[in-house]
Amino acid sequence: MQILVTGGAGFIGGHLAESFLEDGHDVRVIDNFEPFYAEGIKRHTLDVHREVASESDANYRFVEGDVRNPETVREVVDDVDVVVHQAAQAGVRESVDNPRKVTDINVDGTVNLLEASKEADVDRVILASSSSVYGKPKSLPYEENHPTEPVSPYGVTKLAQEHMARVYTELHCLPTVCLRYFTVYGPRMRPNMAISNFVSRCVNGEAPVIYGDGQQTRDFTYVADVVDANRTLLESDAADGEVLNIGSSDNISIQELAETVRDQLAPELAIKYESAREADAEHTHASVAKARELIGYEPSRTIAEGVGEFIEWYEANRVWYEPLVRGS
């Protein structure tokens, strides 16, 4: 199978491309190295892809390009069986500061992808959406039919993307599936996320910093679970035209997360608190019943287990990753 991963030099797209290559698929990646965080992390990911591709004898091609350019997108989608669309300006705070750029990438870029996929008659487009589409919880855990009232420009762009995908399915019979990821973590994760921050501070003997009172709750989803959901969808039409939550098995507060990391690495440290950041959701918690029913999705790790694995990975990769994660 020929798969296109947009944003494939990034954290989640990088893991997806790596796993597809391991399975022997031919993989094309498009990424523009958006300077949101250290490029070195993305370069490292591309090196991993080349290594895996040579071991599994799969075809691998990296295209440095921008999904905002319709011509580039048309060229890269040509001959592709499945498009896995991860390219986006992620990050709620960036979207507050720069809403137009986030809209250009996340909405216009997605339209380019859908339009090219329709023209090329691809079998399926799988799109990365986000728990940010829910915004204000009326009931938890979120089921997919919970009202959507995003509280950030980022959430609005992800919701617009979902609607655009639905319309392409309805109008043009282009099979699409939107996966609402709930805070994803794991090896090579983006800097400036709670887990990478807490770990990099604690291993250096610095207190973890919580923004707000720490009572915000989150699902933290291990990246391998996100990969599993996408892998299943390569071959399955069971969720065509649907949106699915992709979350974790347990839900914890930021306070508990900071304590989990601190207790594993530096129990003597006291936790620090700074003022809350605007447009962060208060609580997110996924019901994964629909994903379980349609695609057999099952989160594989508790947060304590996943955090333990991430810490192990961090320590083994500290030499190259830490300067990049702390310098961003």
Ligand X SMILES: NC(=O)c1ccc[n+]([C@@H]2O[C@H](COP(=O)([O-])OP(=O)(O)OC[C@H]3O[C@@H](n4cnc5c(N)ncnc54)[C@H](O)[C@@H]3O)[C@@H](O)[C@H]2O)c1
Helices (H) and strands (E) in the chain, counts: 13, 13
**Active-site entry in 154, 185, 314, 321:** 154
For residue 231, the SS3 value is helix
Phi, psi at 31, each rounded to 5°: -160, 145
Cross-strand partners of 128: 179
**Tokens in use for 264?**
């594993």
> Quick one: which of 12, 38, 113, 165 contacts ligand X (CB under 6 A)?
12
Q: Look up 154 and say whether it is catalytic.
A: yes
Phi, psi at 89, each rounded to 5°: -85, 105
Of the candidates 87, 78, 74, 82, the one whose C-alpha atom is nearest the C-alpha of residue 30 is 87
Taking the complex as a whole, how short is the minimal distance between the CB of residue 302 and ligand X, in angstroms?
18
> Quick one: which of 18, 27, 38, 42 contacts ligand X (CB under 6 A)?
42
Residue nearest to ligand X (CB): 10
Cross-strand partners of 129: 180
| Contact between 211 and ligand X per CB under 6 A | no
219 neighbors 284 (Cβ within 8 angstroms): yes
Residues binding ligand X: what is the number (CB under 6 A)? Answer: 29
How many residues comprise the chain? 328
Of the candidates 55, 64, 53, the one whose C-alpha atom is nearest the C-alpha of residue 26 is 53
Interface positions, 125-144, toward ligand X (CB under 6 A): 128, 130
User: Rounded CA gap, 94 and 158, in Å?
Assistant: 14
Identity of the residue, 40 or 206, whose beta carbon is nearer to ligand X in the bound complex: 40
User: Rounded CA gap, 90 and 213, in Å?
Assistant: 24
| Contact between 46 and ligand X per CB under 6 A | no
Stretch that binds ligand X, among 60-68, 210-218, 299-307, 320-328 (CB under 6 A): 60-68
> Quick one: which of 38, 76, 84, 87 contacts ligand X (CB under 6 A)?
87
Which residues, 6 or more positions from 210, have their beta carbon under 8 angstroms from its beta carbon? 254, 255, 258, 271, 272, 273, 274
| Contact between 306 and ligand X per CB under 6 A | no
Eight-class DSSP state of 23: T
Identity of the residue, 89 or 103, whose beta carbon is nearer to ligand X in the bound complex: 89
> Quick one: which of 61, 68, 118, 172 contacts ligand X (CB under 6 A)?
68
| Contact between 66 and ligand X per CB under 6 A | yes
| Contact between 89 and ligand X per CB under 6 A | yes
> Quick one: which of 184, 258, 261, 325 contacts ligand X (CB under 6 A)?
184
Stretch that binds ligand X, among 50-58, 81-89, 256-264, 305-313 (CB under 6 A): 81-89
Stretch that binds ligand X, among 11-19, 143-151, 255-263, 312-320 (CB under 6 A): 11-19
Footprint of ligand X on this chain (CB under 6 A)? 7, 9-13, 30-34, 36, 42, 66-68, 86-90, 105, 109, 128, 130, 181, 183-184, 190
Catalytic positions are: 154
